Amino acid sequence: MSGKDEYIFTKAALTSTKCGKEILKQILLRKNGYKQFTIYKKKYEEEFEDFTKRFLISLHHRIISDSNPSVTMKKFIEEVGSSELILDDKKLDNVKTRLSRPENLADRIVRILNSNFVKMAFPVLNALFDGASAYNNEEISTDLKNSIIDGHIIAVDLSEPMDRIMDKDEDVQYLDDYKLMNPYILEVAREKISKSGDSVLKAFEEGFKDARKGQYMDYNLKLKPESINYENMIVSYKKYRAVMGTAGRNMAFNRSPLSDIYDLGMAKAAECVGCGNEIEDSIKQRSIKIPSWPLYYSLISKDVEKAFEITLKKSEIYLEEAKLAMDMLPFEFQFKPFLEFLFLTVNHYNQYWYNELMRGEIFTLLQKDFDITMRK
């Protein structure tokens, strides 16, 4: 519905999964969940470009006005604890000059915003914000709403350039640009989020700290995939649940009861999507993603096909936990149908990619690749 791969939600694709057929049924019967979701999908289509422009203007200003980018870079590296993200001082001036041209910076922003997590987050965060405002009977200014939503989407987006630098498997020619952009992306996110008050900013900082732990574990497991175990996979998944959970929490201005409910629901939904993303990446890369649940289960079972089957079941467990959060919503909360429909789309996404994996008959290739990798 909202994502970079729209073909996943064509009629033909929807008829290929159980949840997809339920989505089609909701569309046919014009159910409330579909109608609410359509409103926010349209909002995404109409407003995402304006969000992108706001992001560009803020980021460009940060970059061109910084008289000492070397200090900014070092402070960022010290905070995130990943020396792999640093840009060599010898390259700083050239990269800054390149990104000082708005058309170059705009290109890089569009590239990192081309992410399922970012594009799915935009309509969801808007709906959660409106749901909390209606529940609390509050009128929030458009500027403040844009600031808090923009800030959290930008924070979610920060994981994109960081992951591409770590993985070196996408946009390789722009990795130096991303290294320079990272500190300023975080500054822009913080600046926007801080406008919502100390409580919201504190929640963001705690979530960002947790997400860094997940990304650090993720990087270490890439270096030693044979060391993957259940506990460090749970830590690795903080990269999903911490950022998205915190974003959900702050759509209710970090105020109970909705803040805790949103946090749990978004965190578990993000982990659920993470499983589907691992299946999708394994198909597209024609090798099991490192690290991932499919790799963990393959290490234990030595059976790649069984590992992907268990991964799909793991995604369903995450989704059931997300639904528990939905069950805790107050009776008068108006956006429960939206969330029910959202979870259908999440489940369809995972089922779709699992079915593609089954139809592609690449298990022999994946098993061979797995066996070779583990012998190294």
Find the range with the poorest average confidence among 109-113, 167-171, 174-178, 270-274.
Answer: 167-171
Q: Which CATH number does 6-375 carry?
A: 1.10.600.10
Tell me the pLDDT tens digit for each residue of 13-35: 999 999 999 999 999 999 999 99
Does residue 55 have a pLDDT over 80? yes
pLDDT at 82: 82
Summarize the confidence of residues 146-162 as an average pLDDT: 96
Does residue 167 have a pLDDT over 90? no
pLDDT bin (cut points 50, 70, 90) of residue 1 is: low
Tell me the pLDDT tens digit for each residue of 133-144: 999 999 999 999
Max CA pair span of the chain:
61
pLDDT at 349: 96
pLDDT bin (cut points 50, 70, 90) of residue 83 is: confident
Summarize the confidence of residues 63-86 as an average pLDDT: 93
Tell me the pLDDT tens digit for each residue of 282-336: 999 899 999 999 999 999 999 999 999 999 999 999 999 999 999 999 999 999 9
Summarize the confidence of residues 139-165 as an average pLDDT: 95
pLDDT at 368: 85
Of 375 and 197, more confident: 197
pLDDT bin (cut points 50, 70, 90) of residue 376 is: low
pLDDT at 372: 78
By percentage, how much of the chain surpasses pLDDT 90? 85
Mean pLDDT of the chain: 94
Tell me the pLDDT tens digit for each residue of 237-251: 999 999 999 999 999
Summarize the confidence of residues 208-217 as an average pLDDT: 92
Pairwise CA distance, residues 129 & 338, whole Å = 13
Does residue 347 have a pLDDT over 80? yes
Domain boundary assignment for the chain: 6-375
Does residue 338 have a pLDDT over 80? yes
Does residue 2 have a pLDDT over 60? no
pLDDT at 367: 87
Pairwise CA distance, residues 122 & 142, whole Å = 15
pLDDT bin (cut points 50, 70, 90) of residue 264 is: very high
